[in-house]
Amino acid sequence: MEQAVVRGKIGNRTAVFFCWWNLICVLALPTATIVSHDFNPLFSAPVLSIYTILFLKLWSYGDVNRWCRKARSEENDVFVTKTPESRKRESTPSRPSALMSSVTPSSGKQMNNGSGTGNTNVTASTTTLKVSHKNPQGEEVTWDQTLRKRKEEFTKSPPIGNRRSASPNPQGRQRCLSSDVERTRPARYSIASAEQYYNLLDAIDHELHSSIFSGEMNDLGARRYIAYPQNVTLSNLYYFIFAPTLCYELNFPRTLFIRKPFLFRRLFEVIFLSQLVLCFSQQWMIPTLKNSVTPIAESNFSQILERCLKLAIPNHLIWLIMFYCLFHSLFNLIAELMYFADRFFYSDWWNAETVPAFWSKWNIPVHRFARRHIYLPLIGCGLSRGQAGMVVFFISAVLHEFLISVPLKMPRMWAFLCMFGQMPYAYLVHRMFPHGGAWGNLAVWITLIIGQPLAMLFYFHDYYLTHYVN
């Protein structure tokens, strides 16, 4: 369909309609299959999760291509209004120019490396490529695109671990290797030629690996750099589908080789931790859940609380193990196999002092997707930040309930209420602990330790009564 749009066979509005129709079918068909057949929830839940991830990926893919088409049409409109003398300058794509504009073309320039004791020698050399572009009249315009290679040599400096940043800002210590080198999003080789897409990128300041300093990486990025519509290929789409990210980009950051020791460690962790979770579930959680059916049926709140606290310990251990197995072991395993360089899958959520800080740190791929494809577009439509955040939590709550109710075939709304209830709970925590601190962090951990086992008890009780008692 995207290729048909590029060739001009269908219009932009028609493409958007078919894109959303395809997204609805991606979720509707597996849902109907699971509901109409008697599958085990241990099978149907992972399958439905895979289709939900595919739904979000195709959503991002369609949005980015639509932004690129919009930027391309705007560039063509500007081209028509310009004089013949200025057309050649205006027809140059803005993103490749911005990509190299963040590197100062100086040779042998001395820079402060952030430690106050050493110097950085920055040398730049250039490579010229022939770039062609067709204007709205069908004429092909060719120009020379200069790509600069940057090399850095740190001299007269102590080891990195012994450096002290002169900046009082704690974030300055994290960027000691690139304190004076301008860290802009065009310097990532991970951009598209759409202005809206460029503005909606979620910049993460402490992604040190995303800065490209070596000439080897510059050469590799220049060879692999693509612009719309060269990205509309099956290979590009399938790479994004299997990549451990939900946000599509025309040019992802890449690694140069596969680290086999790192790869085998992550593979061993995935196998061992998955078996450990299975063992804890069978030997620790299932007996406790079975013993909680009678107290819930009799509305014995003291025993319900006792079962909930007894279930909190194994549930929390399993949740931590699954988090490490998924976000660290499995995602790094897939990224290493695919030469995917962006490994920022989670942040220090365990130190979160507010509820919104926790939800923005513990699942970075979903947070980036929600911010770029839901939150920021809603703000662009005129909604306030609070209203846009409420819509984001509502969509997240619907998806959580969808992923639990459909495999269990029990629409009980417990997951929806627990997820959507995070907003009033976050407001309450903010009113009680406006400065966060240790008490704010304690409030975050209470929801993790108590909230999840309570919802699990209710779902297991209803499922047990429906399938085994009745």
- Tell me if 44 sits within 8 A of 406, measured CB to CB: yes
Active site residues: 400
Cβ-in-10-Å burial (0-12, 13-18, 19+) of 143 comes to middle
pLDDT at site 324: 94
pLDDT band of 90, cuts 50, 70, 90 = very low
Respond yes or no on whether the N-terminal peptide bond of residue 229 is cis (omega within 30° of 0): yes
CA distance 47 to 33: 11
pLDDT at site 12: 79
pLDDT band of 332, cuts 50, 70, 90 = very high
Does 68 have pLDDT greater than 80? yes
The two three-digit tokens of residue 179, written as one number = 């304190």
Q: What are phi and psi of 398, to 5 degrees?
A: -65, -45
pLDDT at site 148: 46
Does 51 have pLDDT greater than 60? yes
- Tell me if 246 sits within 8 A of 53, measured CB to CB: yes
Sign of the alpha-carbon dihedral angle for 128, 130, 134, 137: positive
Does 3 have pLDDT greater than 80? no
Mean pLDDT of 409-417: 85
Query: Within 10 Å of residue 147's Cβ, how many Cβ atoms?
Result: 19
- pLDDT, tens digit, 9 for 90 and up, residues 267-290: 999 999 999 999 888 888 888 777
Amino acid at 434: P
Task: Provide the whole-model pTM.
Answer: 0.69
Q: Which residue has the tokens 């909190």?
A: 312
Highest mean pLDDT among 190-194, 241-245, 292-296, 445-449: 241-245
- Per DSSP, 434 falls in state T
Amino acid at 259: R
pLDDT at site 29: 92
In degrees, rounded to 5, the angle at the alpha carbon of residue 298 between the alpha carbons of residues 297 and 302 is 110
Judged by average pLDDT, the poorest of 47-51, 188-192, 322-326 is 188-192
Does 163 have pLDDT greater than 60? no
For 225, 313, 422, the CA distances from 127, given in Å and listed in that order, are: 14, 59, 53
Q: Which residue has the tokens 């975050």?
A: 444
State the distance between the two ends of the chain, measured CA to CA, in whole angstroms.
49
